[in-house]
Amino acid sequence: MNARIHQPEVTYLRKRRARSFVTFFGTLALLACVLATLFAVPATTQAAPATAGGPLVLVQPASGGYLGSTLELAQRQQLASQGVEPYKSAVGNALSFANGKLSSNPSPQNPLNISGTTGPFVDDTATAYGLALAYSTTGNVAYAKKSRDFIMAWVNTTKSTSNTCPNSGSCQTSLIIGRVGPGFVFAANLIKPSGALSAADDTAFRNWLRTVILPTASVRTNNWGDAGTFMRVAVTDYLGDAAGFSAAIAKWKSLVDLIAADGHIPEETRRGSSGLNYTQEALDYKIAAAVIAQRRGVNLWDYGRFKLAVDYAAKYVLNPSSWPWSSGASASIHPLWEVAYQHWQNPAYKSIILKRRPYGADGHSALRWTTLTNGLPF
């Protein structure tokens, strides 16, 4: 079921098996209670009845949050406490990560210079976001305070960047900031209800995003540009920069316009045996930007050949030997598939998702823990 502008996102939750009549209807009552108290559902919402063996309908607003809102995450935690998968495993994964980070410390750098695909900036953005997710699912302010400490360590230390060049492929810092920088934005948004991020903190964070982070965004026409666009969408939204947000959406559309008629992405398929992974990477960022845009009332899901490109990649992820662009292709499974299934519910995505669940902190983009934020039960 496709989401429409100004209509709530409807996701279908189906219990894979009911342990007992009481457990099933207890969970159903929980859903009804959460929905009634947390979400106002417009009269236009289409909702199928919940029946034993049929779908449980969970209605969520197409607004607030980034990949997921604090209300949605609290809701999923309640489902996890009832044993509903994939939330039980996803919450456990996120909390295990966060608990391991409560005694850790950030490692900010000045200037920020990234030469590879890993390092302190990658680690600390993941840590801040993981801790924020733990706060949103448990309400434990200790997680929020620690997340705030990681964010503000970078804000207070990193005053400049080096090895950046938005129009070139030779400056790794631009790529990595685009990939993972939104993790700080996601974290700041999720911990706001806790009060851990003060008004002064938030002002400093916004200024840092505007002056240090945003200027590094890559505007190339391959996955670098997709990463830069994803970062621009997240950052300009957080800043309330309407003109910047509109420009980022226009850039997103220009990149989708480059998708070929059969769904392949020429800038990525030319990468030979690595082309399938690079294709997924480009789609990671495209799909993350689409989620954010949807929550702000902008429908990108139906634009151009976007879905065609996702479906094209889906044909090969579990069978990379059939990749037509190079022999010896390999593929890891990227986190985009949980988000893609949440929106399009294409059965072809299910087998891909089940090979990887639950998606956790691993990976090198801010698109992490997507089973928790976007996953649906099968």
- 31 domain-assigned: no
Tens of pLDDT along the chain (378 residues)? 333 332 323 333 333 333 333 344 444 444 444 333 333 322 222 222 232 333 333 334 445 799 999 989 999 999 999 999 999 999 999 999 999 999 999 999 999 999 989 999 999 999 999 999 999 999 999 999 999 999 999 999 999 999 898 888 889 999 999 999 999 999 999 999 999 999 999 999 999 999 999 999 999 999 999 999 999 999 999 999 999 999 999 999 999 999 999 999 999 999 999 999 999 999 999 999 999 999 999 999 999 999 999 999 999 999 999 999 999 999 999 999 999 999 999 999 999 999 999 999 988 899 999 999 999 999
- pLDDT digit string, tens, across residues 40-82: 322 222 222 232 333 333 334 445 799 999 989 999 999 999 9
Residue 319 CB neighbours (<10 A): 10
- 359 domain-assigned: no
The total number of residues shown for the chain amounts to 378
Q: How many domains does the chain have?
A: 1
Domain boundaries, position 290: 86-333
Query: CA–CA separation, 298 vs 314, rounded Å?
Result: 25
Those residues with Cβ within 8 angstroms of residue 270's Cβ, 6 or more apart along the chain or in another chain: 325
- 47 domain-assigned: no
In the beta sheet, which residues pair with residue 60? 9
Answer yes or no: are the C-beta atoms of 42 and 62 closer than 8 Å.
no
Q: Both tokens of residue 188?
A: 């700041």
Residues 229-261 as b or e (16 or more Cβ within 10 Å = b): bbbbbbbbbbbebeebbeebbebbeebbebbee
Query: CA–CA separation, 356 vs 348, rounded Å?
Result: 15
- 216 domain-assigned: yes
- 377 domain-assigned: no
Amino acid (1-letter code) at residue 235: V
- Global pTM value: 0.86
Q: What CATH number should be reported for the domain holding residue 250?
A: 1.50.10.100
Query: CA–CA separation, 232 vs 247, rounded Å?
Result: 9
- pLDDT digit string, tens, across residues 257-296: 999 999 999 999 999 999 999 999 999 999 999 999 999 9
- 7 domain-assigned: no
**CA 219 distance to own-chain centroid:** 20
- 193 domain-assigned: yes
- 310 domain-assigned: yes
